[in-house]
Structure 1
Amino acid sequence: MAGTLGDVFDADGVVWTPISPGLAKVRRLIAALLNTVGVVVFSVLAVLFTPWLWIGSALLVATFAWEWWLIGRQVGAWGYAERADDLMIRHGVMFRALVVVPYGRMQFVDVQAGPIDRLFDVAHVQLHTASAGTDARIPGLNAQEAARLRDRLASRGEARLAGL
């Protein structure tokens, strides 16, 4: 169907590179830890004070099941594509977004990874441009891909900037 809103997010001839499934593992581990703490707190309070607090534990378990599913969908929606003059990043399932960053607008590229990220070999690439509103982020790349992308984007940005 031509002219649909979906066309805005699907550029012709673009090959999207997915992010690492390791990001889902990281997010699910964090969700599991937080929900476990909540369930333990509600359970202890239910034993000590009132059985009605078991409802809180049950709600947290249901919330965790929903988070598990949602995290998989969110991570699967991320992708990026390197084109000749720009980098495209898309994400979102319900609220979709497509960011196009021209290489010539990039000022610097950050790579970040916290302790849990490093445990699962995951890093995040942050692109900074002249305008803070056009900064872009690609989460959940494996460390080697993040380093490769950082170097490639930096060299492409430098080459495009030199032509100004």
Structure 2
Amino acid sequence: MTNTPDPATPSSRPDPTEPVGDAVLDRDTFDALKQPRSANRLPVGDGTWHQLAKQYVWVRIISTAVFALLVAAGATVISLWSRVPWIWIPAGVFLVILLWTIVITPRQARAYGYQLRRDDLVFRRGILWQRMVAVPYGRMQLIDITHGPLDRGFGIAQLKLVTAAASTGVVIPGLTQEAAERLRDTLVDVAETRRTGL
């Protein structure tokens, strides 16, 4: 008869900080976490930061460009049908905003990162408006992977973490499909053992 280790003991708990899945989590991703230049930025801290897949930029650019084409087509149809040229004023402002979104998308994508620490997952995003959230493993209630048709075409997915407090929920976009599945399995295992140990 073999002795099975108690899941509540620290030695038997999976440690997400171990570099087991790093090759999977870091495949086809950006190599440097982009930070604001200000000295008053949120500190990155120690540890390994994982980033989004490079394909995420193309998915965002294509989806934004398609949306811009739809806005331009809609404004053209409305202006020709109603013979009112002022429709191009709001449409033009909207198209400039969408163009600016396309331009800054690569920089925004490099500002996303997540870190697997001993007791929680830390997620950060943003350059101008920064956000950093720490989600304790034991508080995770649902881990969901979603991806649309364009995401599937580029082999990426987004992973959503749901906790009891809605404000601490996290959505990590632009993970490779393999990384999303590995991260989901790791987080489910760790969350189960942390709840068992409570």
TM-score after normalising by structure 1: 0.83
Q: 1:114 aligns with which of 141, 148, 152?
A: 148
Q: Deviations over 1:31-70 (max 9, x none)?
A: 1111112223334556673667666776565444312112
Following superposition, the deviation at residue 30 of structure 1 comes to: 1.2
CA contact (8 A) 1:9 1:97 kept: no
Q: How many residues align?
A: 159
CA contact (8 A) 1:39 1:56 kept: no
Q: 1:89 aligns with which of 119, 123, 126?
A: 123
Amino acid at match of 1:145: A
Show the counterpart of 1:141.
175
Following superposition, the deviation at residue 122 of structure 1 comes to: 1.3
CA contact (8 A) 1:39 1:60 kept: no
Give aligned-pair identity as a percent. 35
C-alpha separation in 1, matches of 2:170 and 2:43: 16
Q: Could you tell me which runs of 5 or more consecutive residues in structure 1 were left unpaired when the two chains were aligned.
A: none
SS of 2:175's equivalent in the other structure is strand
Q: Could you tell me which runs of 5 or more consecutive residues in structure 2 were left unpaired when the two chains were aligned.
A: 1-38
- Highest RCO, 1 vs 2 (Cα 8 Å, sep ≥ 6): 2
Runs of 4+ in 1 over 6 A off after TM superposition: 50-57
Q: 1:41 aligns with which of 64, 67, 74?
A: 74
SS of 1:84's equivalent in the other structure is coil
> What's the Cα RMSD here?
2.2
More strand per residue: 1 or 2?
1
C-alpha separation in 2, matches of 1:81 and 1:17: 6
SS of 1:9's equivalent in the other structure is coil
Show the counterpart of 1:16.
49
Show the counterpart of 2:133.
99
Q: 1:75/1:50 Cα in 2 relative to 1: closer, same or farther (>3 Å)?
A: same
